[in-house]
Amino acid sequence: MSDETSESFDYIHGTSPEEQHRLSLLNDILNDSCLRELTLQPGEKVLDFGSGLGQFTRLMARTVGSTGHVVGIERDQNQISYAMALADRADESSLVEFRKGDVTGLPLSDAELGTFDVAHARFLLEHVPHPASVIAEMARSVRPGGRVFVSDDDHDNFRPWPEPTGFQPLWQAYIRSYESLGNDPYVGRRLVSLLRDAGLTSLRNSCVFFGGCAGNERFQAVADNLIGVLVSAREAILSEEFLDKKSFDAGIDGLQQWKAGSDSALWYTACCAEGVVP
């Protein structure tokens, strides 16, 4: 697809060092569970849409092994630079081929299109105004019989308990910040429909649990991630006046108190779906 047909989109969390750190820790929490759902095989050729920091991209590369090949597509050069630095630190600088490009204007040659065994995207579709265009590019990149695998949020599948003080107004303001950009914070529930509408077959769906509770070794990390998600969206929420500063800060304070509770729990599942290119 040419540059003229690609679309720009805004990532409401930004790319600050704090956000990079949050995303890196989130990878530590999620990657093994996501890899199990993806069911990669040795020797497969994988295209990762929105590869970000590249931690999961490199995990996929280790899974497909030396006979496979993984290409990560990322539009932000700072993200690519950070991903390559992380790879260097892990002595994996040659494991993944990172390319700068838009997910609806792929940096692939004509000879590469339609040759990948798997196209993968995680937490990407919620940040684009037209997710169907991304799915179309994913399908176009994969060979007949290959797979398109997507996982994404449905922000209704998200419950901290006991409910933190001030959480509902803060969460609804966060949802509105998505919608103000023309994005769908509930896109996870639509994944099967998006794959079907793109002409994919052998559809399946599942979910991955990303929650935790007090006393569990990962709870502090998932709680910190929830707080970090909202803090990084602060500018978007306040600038659009979806919530006033006092209410925003009260909601964050409520989450900090909830995080310290002895019976606190976060119930959160991400939606996954897969289709086969006919």
| pLDDT tens readout for residues 96-140 | 999 999 999 999 999 999 999 999 999 999 999 999 999 999 999
Task: Look at strands 265-276 and 45-49 and give their pairing.
Answer: unpaired
**Is 189 domain-assigned?**
yes
For residue 255, being part of any structural domain is answered with no
Q: What percent of the chain has pLDDT over 70?
A: 91
Enclosing domain of residue 43: 3-155+182-211+269-276
Residue 48 lies in a domain: yes
Closest by CA to 10, choosing from 235, 231, 225, is 235
pLDDT of residue 4: 32
Domain contains 38: yes
- Where helices occur in the chain by DSSP H, the ranges are 17-38, 55-64, 77-89, 131-141, 167-180, 191-197, 219-232, 234-239, 245-259
The band of 25, judged by pLDDT with boundaries at 50, 70 and 90, is confident
* Residue 29 lies inside a defined structural domain of this protein: yes
- Mean pLDDT, rounded, for 234-246: 95
Q: How confident is the model at residue 6 (pLDDT cuts 50, 70, 90)?
A: very low
In a domain, 217, yes or no: no
Q: What is the mean pLDDT of the chain?
A: 92
| Residue 218, domain member (yes or no) | no
Number of domains in the chain: 1
Q: What is the CATH number of the domain that holds 46?
A: 3.40.50.150
**Peptide bond before 162: cis, by omega within 30 degrees of 0?**
yes
DSSP secondary structure letters along 42-84: TT-EEEEES-TTSHHHHHHHHHH-TTSEEEEEES-HHHHHHHH
- Asked if the structure places residue 161 within a domain, the reply is no
pLDDT of 5 reads: 36
Segment 136-165 mean pLDDT: 97
